Amino acid sequence: MLAGVTLLLDLITMRKKVTRKGSDSLEQSALSAMARLHSGLVMKRRARALSSHIASMLPKSSRVLDIGAGNGKLARAIMGLRPDVRIDGVDTMLWPERLIDVREFDGTKIPHGDGAYDACLLSDVLHHAKAPITLLCEAVRVARMGIVIKDHVAESRWDIAALRFMDWFGNRGHGVTLVYDYWDWQTWNNAFNQTGLKIDRMERKLGLYPFPVSLLFDRKLHFVAYLEIRGSRA
């Protein structure tokens, strides 16, 4: 918590420190401080909670493809909880340091064959995708058994506002493209039906944020679900 307070003070005084360097330097310095603040206050708790929920849903002794794997930190945490699971990744950009094997792809066409993995993982990826249905179809093609999805649900303009703030605060400092494409449950169910997926297990209470922030940003804005592929090759 002390580290978070320090970083907040850094943000408040940032303008005085970089006035001579111009507005671009100010923006970059502020974004860097935001990224550090988010990492200190949220990311560690979020990573623990997500890895626990996702690990509980992956099939036994499965080979998993993490779509949008980043540096592989989440995948490594999951494997720490599930030694029987192996996770590889794909992403639209390759981080300099990666904790798992990650291949670059164009964000649409996954560079693996049909049924190459037992399951695919899409953790906070589809609401950033330019063609989410196409990417979901690709995940279904590559997976033999099922898909694990962690994403958001927005049923009101207030939900959308909260999610936009979280996305901006958590990702803007990392150069992530922000599409702000949040679906309501009807849209999610339509997407599942369209791609041949059936909900097997779902968790809505993820505990990603500490109290009292959770009152605004947890609620039922998030879910983790394991979806079976109809007529799967398992």
- Give the pTM: 0.77
For the chain, give the longest Cα–Cα distance.
63
Structure confidence by residue, pLDDT tens digits, 85-107 = 999 999 999 999 999 999 999 99
DSSP H helices in 59-197: 73-81, 132-142, 157-171, 185-194
Structure confidence by residue, pLDDT tens digits, 117-136 = 999 999 999 988 999 999 99
Please report, for the chain, the start and end positions of each structural domain, with discontinuous segments joined by +.
2-229
Q: What is the H or E stretch that residue 48 is in?
A: helix 44-55
CA distances from 199 to 75, 125, 203, 215 (A): 22, 18, 11, 27
35, 62 in Cβ contact below 8 A?
Answer: no
Structure confidence by residue, pLDDT tens digits, 158-204 = 878 878 877 766 665 555 666 677 899 999 999 999 999 999 999 98
Q: Give the residue from 179, 184, 78 showing the smallest Cα distance to 135.
A: 179
Q: What is the CATH superfamily name and number for domain 2-229?
A: Vaccinia Virus protein VP39 (3.40.50.150)
CA atoms of 50 and 202, how far apart (whole Å)? 13
